[in-house]
Structure 1
């Protein structure tokens, strides 16, 4: 194992730590780690990301279930259209993307570069969502739930499509939707988000099994380290103010998004 690969496996722990601390964000790191540190093709990396994020989130959601911090009604309303969208995206849309995506006499945009550029734009959107102050949104109470079913379902479908394309769990979109549209308290939104991320990511991964060869020994080792990280993150969440951590992580994601844009277009 060389130094770069060691850093990649170490980063897998940080992916889990982020999921354990803020219920999201870790998935936004998985694709760059797999592509730039582990040297894996972006299309394959997006599939691996689904498995890593899905398995880690599923294990992390168990502790929230035990504390009664998962709202299953909200999860179902959001998740069903998301499940359908992510599976269809991985099974039919991704294999149909041409390579190159765009080509002219003086310009060519390959599929792998297009995936990374799209992912960088997702990272920029994610960073703004994390940096923005949402303390006023966290004040909702579970007793006053009022579901906006069509809007929640629509966002579920959009997040599912996004997950299918780039392999990101979408927690940075799910949590605000649950807090604003379903009026869940922040901690319950985090627990519900982890369960949704787990289910739709693993369902999306199933759509890849017939399209992409899977290196199971590597994938299971990488995922195991991420699972260790989510236990560490869940423990640290007792001591670290979540809002401050989320903002700091948002700035980190912003810098990574800018780096990917620069690397894929200029360097």
Structure 2
């Protein structure tokens, strides 16, 4: 095992740590880790990411459910359309994308590069949300009546995002649960972790029939990420998640810049 791979495995712990502390955000690092530190092809990296994110978030969500932090009714309203969207995206849309995605004379854009560019754009948006740290304390549903129709539409959009880039989308889910379901931020984070877990597994199931997976690599990496989420959930008692998200947002922004520069070069 070389130094680059050691950094990759150490990063697995960081992914789980951030999910445990902030309820999301760490999953957006998994695809760059797989692509740049382990040399895994981009589309396969998104499949691996879905499994790691799903497994790690599932462990965190069990803890939240036991402590009765998860709103199951809101979870169903948001998650059911999201499940459909993420499965159809992984099962049909991603495989149907042509490769190269774009060709004009000598300009060629391979599918793998297009996914990484899209991923970098999403990272910039996520980093901006984390740095601003402006999660609303209440929204349209402050009256206690969730806007289920709007939640379902948002679930469809997040499902497509998760299916395309292999990230959980927690930076989008949490604000929507606050705004449209009227959940307090701590319950929104807990509910988001469960949605991310099932979303990711549904997307992964859309790939498993057509992908040859290296379980000898994937399972140890996932195990380290799960260790990280236990550490993160423990540290969450002492560390303010908002401060962590702001610092992590700057880190995500740097990684997004690295992806763009590297792909352009």
TM-score under structure 2 normalisation?
0.97
Alignment partner, residue 105 of structure 1: 105
Alignment partner, residue 264 of structure 1: 263
8 A contact 2:138–2:179 mirrored in 1:
no
Alignment partner, residue 170 of structure 2: 171
Counterparts in 2 of 1:1-267, with a 5 A limit? 1-134=1-134, 137-138=136-137, 144-265=143-264, 267=265
* Per-residue CA distance 1:142-168 (angstroms, 9 max, x = gap): 995221122111110000000000000
State the Cα distance separating 1:244 from its structure 2 match.
Answer: 0.9
Cα distance between partner residues in 1 of 2:237 and 2:203: 32
* Per-residue CA distance 1:189-242 (angstroms, 9 max, x = gap): 111001000001001100101121111111111100000000000011111111
Where structure 1 has 5 or more consecutive residues not aligned to the other structure, the ranges are none
The number of residues matched between the two structures is: 264
Distance 1:143 1:172, change over 3 A: closer
8 A contact 2:162–2:169 mirrored in 1:
yes
Cα distance between partner residues in 2 of 1:162 and 1:189: 19
**RMSD of aligned Cα (Å):** 1.3
SS at match of 2:134: coil
Cα distance between partner residues in 2 of 1:247 and 1:259: 19
Cα distance between partner residues in 2 of 1:160 and 1:40: 23
Cα distance between partner residues in 1 of 2:214 and 2:144: 44
TM-score under structure 1 normalisation?
0.96
SS at match of 1:57: helix
Where structure 2 has 5 or more consecutive residues not aligned to the other structure, the ranges are none
Cα distance between partner residues in 2 of 1:133 and 1:24: 13
State the Cα distance separating 1:138 from its structure 2 match.
Answer: 2.9
Cα distance between partner residues in 2 of 1:152 and 1:36: 35
